[in-house]
């Protein structure tokens, strides 16, 4: 499923890619979104994974194992958190990308828009200007080609001021457009500049001397340098200007950038805040919950529920707070988006205003420049006139020349409609002038209309008599009609002329309507002086020097129109030009009455006339469009906010839901745990309750069977009894399981004899093993100490379970072999010292009779594997002294466990397969209990099994080393018997090494020394080769295994032995060694046959165990026993107790009498008392008693109290003797009084034992007396004393 999803995402991705490719211009967009898609895919895949995880967890949690339900829940929580985090991260990335894209687009658009505009404008202007200056030079050269060099030089010099502009502008533009080509272009420029210079002087060469060209060149060079320096200067200036401009632009851009960065930062902070606010309660709750959990574990269920409610409350409050969070977030988002809208709009307006100002200023400056260019040209014309008209005699210029020149250079003054030259004529010279020119000075028709085209000069009246006149003598063709008209007669013109000649500069009229074009125009007037005047000449000097006036009319609208035409984006703004000399009533020079569109920018115009002021008013043609970028951006933010809000809302809802679920689960878990505990308790109680009546049932059944019953009835009763017994054992097992589960099973720690425990197990199963013909054996390694401290019952239970299982599943002849070793013994297979272990670790097949070196000859599984997986806890030295770890192995040759069932073998109520219970019975609880018990004992259990071969179970268990002295009496049954057989010697003849070792182990326990022969033949040779005295003399018995017994060798062996007997070594040996056959099961026929033949003296039935051996040997050494007893008894009980005065304290007459009788039998002198008080009185020193046997349960004063009082008395006496207060004579010469007091008790419990010791008793004996016990108890006091 995951793969499928992945591919669909991939498909989607590919399709997107193709679509993007198709719409070529969105490739950029794709490159931005590509990573986003990848992230998207990743997130999706993650999600699906998580889903899967959740699903599997769900499966687990629905499992009935409620204990584990907690874990997956945690896990899913965790996973969910991660998913949330991922989602947030993804969104964050998306939003940042979005914002970045936005700002990038904005910036780019702005830049791209503005820079080319500016560049283009400048380039065009540059071109024009350059053309102008070039054309001017061309014109000059072509017209005045004949004129001499000096004048031309002068002219060029004079007109130099026109030239630098081109350079300046070009340089400025170059720096703007491309810094790289700047130098090259400039050089070209310079060359171009120089070329015309070169061209100019060439035709003059004829007239000049030979030095001319050189001079000229020098001049041109110097000029070149001059121009260079000026150009550099102005370049510098312009550059500065430019820098300022670009800086202004850059600021705008910076502003924009900083804004976007700010936005991103704000977004980041918001996200951080949101993430933190999402995380914090989670973290807090986690911590809190952990703490609570710890508490919960310690507190009972009721309080847990309370706490659960508390958790609920707190989570509720947290939930409320969390629910408010998305609303707050959305509100903040809305406010943010509104603020963004306002801010962006503001920004756009600001930019608009700036753009307008820039454009307006630019236009104004250009207009000014162009106007100035024209003005300069007119000025140049004035100088031309003064040079060639007045400076020459006769004049080089007439109307025709002037007209032609002006006509041809009209392109240089595109804005002037016409140029005219008027001569200053005083009244005194009027007639002479009129005569000279052949026309009269005429007056202007109307005062304010000059340069009227349609009026014919002839029709005009002659001028009125005035002080002086300014009749037009030269005029451009276009205005030729104004020749002879007196300029001083018009009011405007007169003022103009007067101002012009006084100031020596170009002077403008106020705007007025030009007659012909009906355009608004102005007239520019320059005065022509006869001499070269200083710049600081007084107006009087100027007036006197005035020769004439050159006037040019400007058509302002066309001027502006043309200018605007040159500029791009002319259609976006409306330009109005006003003459604002009179502030109150500005005169409109250009422009339409456009509607007010809000924004207005006013730039000052300086047309070179300080008396007049002009302004340019710019406004946008259209109203500002709606700020789409701002709207989209804020809209985007708004939408994102809403989306995020929705996501948070969903997330928080989800959190709440999960929390709710978690709480429910916790509740359920608590309930389940409570139910579990209740179940165990119920089981324990009910099992116990069942057990009691079952005992009654069993007892009654037992009694019923004792009555007179016919065989049928007896059979029924027997069956019922057996079933009842089974039921009891089952109940016991269930009870154990329940106890372990509810943790109520506690292990005892009492010292016990491990070997005796194993003997018990053997005797339990001996019947079964006989019935099945299975050989059963136990072996305990020498290194295992005799006494260990632990729980013998539970230890026995484990072994019983394992052996029981093995017996159950071993059908044919085979064996079950229990061996106990120290866990340290099996650390490495190489350094195994124990013979049995070494043998059992290597399976060797003996091909001669197709058997293996195992107990019964059947193959077994490799037992090493069964404990291979155990943790090898290397016992340190400290551990070695305190605890020992035993490894118990139970090996069988049964059917084995099927491999598929091996993993669930330790699960309660699970058997290998369901047919097992049908075939073999049982509940399958035994192994589970065993495992739990082993766990309790700090060990491990393991097994290895091969179907058909058998199984081997191993377990380890930790025990403490025990003192032999501390061993309870219960375990000392055989102590006297062991001493009976001390020093005997027995030959064991057995073909199997392991079996021989097992026999040796058992015999060693009795203190019997053992020799082993592996066959009868070798036994024969062993016996015959050894001299009679040394080997066979002490040989008491020969134990022959039945497996190697056959009639032929058996008889031979018998004969050998009888031969030894008859060899007359009677002085050493009264009895020849007896031959005992060690059998597993033997039919009575065989038995009698062998016995009657007199070949063997008896049979020893397997499984070998101490009690069996003892009875057997006692039987075998029947006479010897008597003798031994006779020899030993005096040294034992009778010897000890003979003539000893013993006080018996018992309230029960029967007990008293019995005890008396029992002790009297050993020769003791008995005194009986029947109460504790009497005993205290009797034992008050001095007294002659050697010991006291005291019953514990007596009325009035019980045994404990009596002992305490006796000890107190003794203590006093001892103190007295020590201090010398009383002489020893008074107390029968006894230095230290301490009468041994032995408790007599019917129930031997540990607690009673301790109680006895506490109150000062020395030991205790079980009632009724048993010889062995009595001996061991009494021996302590009397042997030493």
Partner 1 sequence: MLGFGEDRLRADMNRLLALLFHQGVLDEQFLQLQQLQDETSPNFVSEVVNIYFQESEKLLRNLRELLLDREFSDYKKMGIHLNQFMGSSSSIGANRVRNVCVAFRAASEQNNRPGCLRALELLEHEYCYLKNKLHELFQIEQQRVLAAGVRYPMQN
Residues contributing to the site for partner 1 (CB under 8 A): 699, 702-703, 706, 1147-1151, 1153-1154, 1157-1158, 1160-1161, 1191, 1193, 1195, 1242, 1263-1266
CB-side neighbour CA atoms (13 Å) of 271? 21
The strand pairing partners of 452, in sequence order, are none
**Tokens coding 1041:** 């295994």
CA distance 771 to 268: 86
Q: Using the minimum distance from each CB to partner 1, give the nearer residue, 779 or 1265.
A: 1265
- If phi > 0 it is left, if psi is from -120 to 50 it is alpha, else beta; for residue 409 that is alpha
| Cα dihedral value 1145, 1151, 1154, 1160, nearest 10 | 0
Instruction: Count CB atoms within 10 A of the CB of residue 292.
Output: 18
Q: Using the minimum distance from each CB to partner 1, give the nearer residue, 609 or 1191.
A: 1191
Q: Report in angstroms how near the CB of residue 729 gets to partner 1 at its nearest.
A: 21
Q: Report in angstroms how near the CB of residue 746 gets to partner 1 at its nearest.
A: 25
Q: Using the minimum distance from each CB to partner 1, give the nearer residue, 1038 or 1252.
A: 1252
In angstroms, the first-to-last Cα distance of the chain is 91
Q: Report in angstroms how near the CB of residue 675 gets to partner 1 at its nearest.
A: 31
Q: Report in angstroms how near the CB of residue 1110 gets to partner 1 at its nearest.
A: 17
Q: Report in angstroms how near the CB of residue 1097 gets to partner 1 at its nearest.
A: 28
Instruction: Count CB atoms within 10 A of the CB of residue 1147.
Output: 19
Q: Using the minimum distance from each CB to partner 1, give the nearer residue, 1243 or 1279.
A: 1243
Q: Report in angstroms how near the CB of residue 679 gets to partner 1 at its nearest.
A: 27
The strand pairing partners of 616, in sequence order, are 577, 603
Q: Using the minimum distance from each CB to partner 1, give the nearer residue, 121 or 1191.
A: 1191
Q: Report in angstroms how near the CB of residue 732 gets to partner 1 at its nearest.
A: 20
Q: Report in angstroms how near the CB of residue 1242 gets to partner 1 at its nearest.
A: 6
Q: Using the minimum distance from each CB to partner 1, give the nearer residue, 287 or 1242.
A: 1242
Length of the chain: 1281
Q: Report in angstroms how near the CB of residue 1148 gets to partner 1 at its nearest.
A: 5
Q: Report in angstroms how near the CB of residue 1165 gets to partner 1 at its nearest.
A: 12
CA distance 223 to 233: 15
Q: Using the minimum distance from each CB to partner 1, give the nearer residue, 467 or 706.
A: 706
The Cα-based distances of 13 to 19, 22, 26, 1158 in angstroms read 10, 14, 15, 104
Q: Using the minimum distance from each CB to partner 1, give the nearer residue, 600 or 697.
A: 697
**Tokens coding 248:** 């202004």
Q: Using the minimum distance from each CB to partner 1, give the nearer residue, 3 or 1150.
A: 1150
> What element of type H or E holds 725?
helix 711-741
Close Cβ partners of 305 (under 8 Å, ≥ 6 residues apart): 667, 670
The Cα-based distances of 1104 to 643, 759, 955, 1111 in angstroms read 86, 8, 23, 11
Q: Report in angstroms how near the CB of residue 697 gets to partner 1 at its nearest.
A: 14
What is the torsional sign of CA 1237, 1241, 1245, 1251? Answer: negative
CA distance 655 to 663: 12
Q: Report in angstroms how near the CB of residue 976 gets to partner 1 at its nearest.
A: 16
Q: Using the minimum distance from each CB to partner 1, give the nearer residue, 401 or 1148.
A: 1148
Q: Using the minimum distance from each CB to partner 1, give the nearer residue, 458 or 706.
A: 706
Q: Report in angstroms how near the CB of residue 1263 gets to partner 1 at its nearest.
A: 7
Q: Using the minimum distance from each CB to partner 1, give the nearer residue, 957 or 1158.
A: 1158
Q: Using the minimum distance from each CB to partner 1, give the nearer residue, 1154 or 1177.
A: 1154
Q: Report in angstroms how near the CB of residue 1195 gets to partner 1 at its nearest.
A: 6
The strand pairing partners of 7, in sequence order, are none
**Tokens coding 1018:** 């070798």
- If phi > 0 it is left, if psi is from -120 to 50 it is alpha, else beta; for residue 1051 that is alpha
Q: Using the minimum distance from each CB to partner 1, give the nearer residue, 579 or 1147.
A: 1147
Q: Report in angstroms how near the CB of residue 1158 gets to partner 1 at its nearest.
A: 6
Name the nearest CA neighbour of 102 among 274, 344, 339, 334: 344
Give me Rg for the CA atoms of the chain: 67
Q: Report in angstroms how near the CB of residue 1160 gets to partner 1 at its nearest.
A: 7
Kindly provide the b/e burial profile for residues 4-16, where b requires at least 16 CB atoms within 10 angstroms of the residue's own CB: ebeeebeeeeeee
CA distance 400 to 389: 13
Q: Using the minimum distance from each CB to partner 1, give the nearer residue, 35 or 1264.
A: 1264
Name the nearest CA neighbour of 1016 among 985, 996, 1040: 1040
Q: Report in angstroms how near the CB of residue 1264 gets to partner 1 at its nearest.
A: 5
Q: Using the minimum distance from each CB to partner 1, give the nearer residue, 1023 or 1158.
A: 1158
Place of tokens 């006769």: 394
Name the nearest CA neighbour of 88 among 43, 54, 35, 49: 43
Q: Using the minimum distance from each CB to partner 1, give the nearer residue, 655 or 1194.
A: 1194
SS (H, E, C) 1100-1148: EECCCCHHHHHHHHHHHCHHHHHHHHHHHHHHCHHHHHCCCEEEEECCC
Write the burial class of residue 1188 (CB in 10 Å: 0-12 exposed, 13-18 middle, 19+ buried): buried
What is the torsional sign of CA 448, 454, 458, 459? Answer: negative
**Tokens coding 1244:** 């031997």
CA distance 1181 to 1016: 67
Q: Report in angstroms how near the CB of residue 696 gets to partner 1 at its nearest.
A: 9
Residues 385, 409 contacting (CB under 8 angstroms)? no
The DSSP output letter for 390 is I
Q: Using the minimum distance from each CB to partner 1, give the nearer residue, 329 or 1162.
A: 1162
CA distance 479 to 399: 12
CA distance 732 to 725: 10
């Amino acid at each position: 499923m995951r793969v499928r999803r992945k591919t669909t995402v991939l498909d989607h991705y590919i399709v997107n890619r193709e679509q993007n490719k198709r719409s070529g211009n969105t490739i950029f967009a794709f490159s931005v979104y590509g990573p986003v898609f990848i992230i998207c895919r990743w997130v999706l895949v993650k999600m699906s994974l998580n889903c899967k995880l959740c699903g599997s967890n769900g499966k687990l949690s629905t499992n009935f194992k409620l204990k584990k339900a907690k874990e997956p829940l945690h896990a899913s929580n965790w996973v969910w958190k991660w998913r949330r985090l991922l989602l947030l991260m993804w969104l964050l990335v998306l939003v940042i990308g979005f914002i970045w894209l936005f700002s990038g687009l904005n910036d780019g658009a702005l830049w791209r828009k503005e820079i080319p505009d500016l560049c283009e404008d400048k380039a065009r202007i540059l071109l024009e200007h350059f053309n102008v200056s070039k054309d001017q030079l061309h014109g000059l050269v072509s017209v005045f080609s004949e004129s001499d060099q000096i004048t031309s030089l002068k002219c060029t010099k004079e007109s130099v001021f026109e030239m630098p502009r081109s350079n300046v502008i070009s340089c400025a533009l170059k720096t703007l457009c491309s810094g790289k080509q700047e130098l090259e272009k400039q050089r070209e420029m310079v060359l171009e500049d120089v070329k015309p210079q070169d061209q100019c002087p060439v035709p003059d060469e004829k007239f000049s001397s030979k030095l001319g060209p050189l001079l000229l060149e020098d001049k041109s060079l110097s000029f070149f340098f001059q121009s260079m320096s000026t150009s550099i200067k102005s370049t510098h200036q312009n550059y500065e200007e430019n820098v300022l401009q670009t800086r202004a632009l850059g600021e705008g851009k910076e502003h924009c950038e900083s804004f976007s960065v700010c936005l991103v930062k704000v977004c980041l902070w918001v996200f951080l805040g949101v993430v933190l606010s999402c995380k914090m309660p989670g973290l807090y709750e986690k911590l809190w919950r952990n703490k609570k959990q710890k508490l919960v574990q310690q507190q009972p269920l009721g309080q847990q529920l309370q706490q659960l409610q508390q958790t609920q409350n707190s989570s509720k409050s947290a939930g409320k707070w969390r629910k408010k969070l998305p609303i707050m977030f959305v509100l903040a988002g809305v406010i943010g988006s509104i603020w963004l809208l306002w801010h962006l709009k503001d920004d756009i307006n600001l930019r608009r205003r700036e753009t307008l100002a820039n454009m307006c200023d630019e236009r104004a400056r250009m207009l000014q420049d162009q106007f100035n260019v024209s003005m300069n040209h007119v000025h140049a014309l004035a100088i031309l006139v003064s040079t060639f008209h007045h400076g020459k005699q006769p004049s080089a210029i007439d109307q025709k020349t002037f007209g032609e020149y002006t006509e041809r250079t009209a392109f240089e003054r595109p804005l002037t409609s016409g140029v005219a030259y008027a001569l200053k004529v005083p009244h005194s010279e009027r007639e002479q002038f009129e005569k000279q020119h052949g026309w009269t000075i005429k007056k202007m028709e109307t005062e304010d209309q000059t340069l009227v085209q349609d009026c014919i000069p002839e029709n005009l009246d002659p001028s009125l008599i005035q002080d002086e006149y300014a009749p037009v003598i030269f005029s451009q063709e276009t205005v030729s009609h104004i020749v002879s008209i007196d300029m001083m007669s018009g009011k405007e013109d007169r003022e103009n002329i007067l101002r012009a000649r006084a100031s020596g500069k170009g002077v403008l009229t106020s705007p007025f309507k030009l007659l012909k074009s009906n355009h608004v125009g102005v007239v520019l007037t320059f005065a022509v002086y006869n001499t070269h005047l200083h710049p600081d000449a007084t107006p009087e000097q100027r007036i006197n020097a005035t020769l004439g006036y050159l006037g040019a009319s400007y058509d302002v609208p066309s001027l502006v129109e043309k200018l605007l035409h040159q500029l791009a984006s002319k259609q976006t703004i409306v330009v109005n030009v006003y003459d604002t000399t009179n502030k109150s009533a500005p005169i409109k020079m250009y422009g339409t009455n456009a509607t007010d569109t809000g924004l207005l920018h006013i730039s000052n115009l300086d047309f070179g006339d300080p008396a007049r002021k002009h302004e340019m008013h710019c406004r946008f043609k259209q109203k500002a469009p709606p700020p789409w970028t701002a709207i989209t951006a804020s809209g985007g933010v708004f939408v994102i906010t809403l989306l995020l809000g929705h996501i948070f809302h969903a997330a928080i809802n989800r959190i709440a839901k999960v929390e709710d679920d978690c709480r429910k689960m916790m509740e359920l878990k608590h309930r389940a745990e409570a139910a579990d505990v209740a179940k165990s308790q119920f089981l324990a109680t009910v099992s116990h309750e069942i057990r009691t009546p079952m005992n009654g049932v069993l007892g009654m059944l037992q009694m019923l069977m004792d009555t007179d019953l016919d065989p049928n009835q007896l059979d029924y009763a027997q069956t019922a009894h057996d079933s009842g017994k089974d039921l009891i054992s089952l109940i016991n097992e269930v009870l154990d399981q329940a106890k372990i589960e509810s943790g109520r099973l506690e292990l005892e720690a009492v010292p016990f004899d491990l070997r005796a425990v194993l003997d018990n197990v053997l005797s339990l199963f001996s019947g079964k093993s006989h019935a099945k013909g299975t050989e059963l054996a136990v072996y305990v390694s020498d290194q295992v100490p005799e006494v260990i401290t632990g729980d013998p019952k539970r230890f026995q239970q484990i072994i019983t379970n394992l052996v029981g299982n093995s017996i159950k599943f071993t059908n044919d002849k085979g064996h079950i072999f229990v061996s106990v070793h120290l866990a340290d013994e099996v650390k490495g297979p190489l350094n195994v010292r124990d013979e049995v272990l070494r043998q059992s670790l290597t399976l060797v097949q003996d091909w001669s009779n197709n058997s293996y070196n195992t107990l019964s000859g059947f193959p077994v599984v490799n037992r090493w594997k069964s404990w291979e997986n155990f943790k090898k806890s290397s016992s340190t030295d400290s551990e070695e002294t305190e605890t020992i770890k035993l490894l118990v192995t139970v090996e069988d040759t049964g059917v084995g466990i099927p491999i598929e069932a091996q993993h669930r073998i330790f699960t309660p109520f699970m058997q290998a397969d369901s047919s097992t219970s049908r075939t073999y019975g049982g509940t399958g609880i035994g192994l589970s209990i065993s495992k739990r018990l082993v766990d309790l004992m700090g060990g491990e259990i393991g097994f290895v099994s091969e179907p058909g071969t058998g199984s081997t179970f191993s377990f380890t268990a930790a025990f403490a080393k025990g003192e032999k002295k501390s061993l309870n009496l219960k375990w000392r049954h055989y102590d006297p018997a062991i001493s009976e057989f001390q020093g005997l010697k027995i030959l064991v003849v057995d073909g199997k090494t392991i079996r021989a070792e097992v026999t040796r182990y058992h015999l060693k326990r009795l203190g019997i020394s053992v020799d082993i022969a592996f066959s009868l033949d070798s036994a024969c040779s062993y016996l015959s080769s050894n001299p009679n005295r040394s080997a066979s003399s002490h040989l008491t018995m020969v134990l022959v295994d039945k497996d190697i017994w056959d009639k032929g060798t058996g008889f031979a062996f018998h004969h050998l032995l009888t031969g030894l007997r008859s060899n007359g070594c009677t002085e050493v040996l009264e009895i020849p060694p007896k031959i005992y056959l060690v059998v597993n099961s033997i039919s009575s026929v065989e038995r009698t046959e062998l016995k009657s033949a007199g070949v063997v003296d008896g049979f020893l039935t397997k499984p070998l165990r101490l009690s069996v051996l003892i009875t057997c040997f006692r039987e075998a050494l029947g006479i010897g026993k008597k003798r031994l007893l006779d020899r030993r008894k005096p040294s034992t009980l009778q010897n000890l107790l003979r003539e000893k005065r013993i006080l018996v304290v018992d309230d029960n007459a029967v007990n008293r009498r019995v005890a008396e009788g029992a002790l009297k039998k050993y020769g003791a002198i008995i005194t009986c008392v029947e109460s504790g008080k009497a005993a205290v009185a009797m034992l008050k020193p001095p007294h002659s008693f050697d010991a006291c046997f005291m019953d514990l349960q007596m009325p009035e004063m019980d045994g404990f109290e009596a002992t305490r009082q006796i000890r107190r008395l003794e203590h006093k006496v001892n103190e007295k003797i020590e201090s010398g207060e009383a002489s020893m004579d008074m107390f029968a010469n006894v230095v230290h009084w301490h009468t041994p007091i032995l408790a007599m008790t019917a129930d031997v419990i540990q607690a009673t034992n301790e109680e006895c010791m506490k109150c000062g008793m020395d030991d205790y004996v079980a009632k009724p007396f048993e010889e062995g016990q009595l001996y061991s108890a009494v021996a302590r006091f009397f042997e030493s004393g």
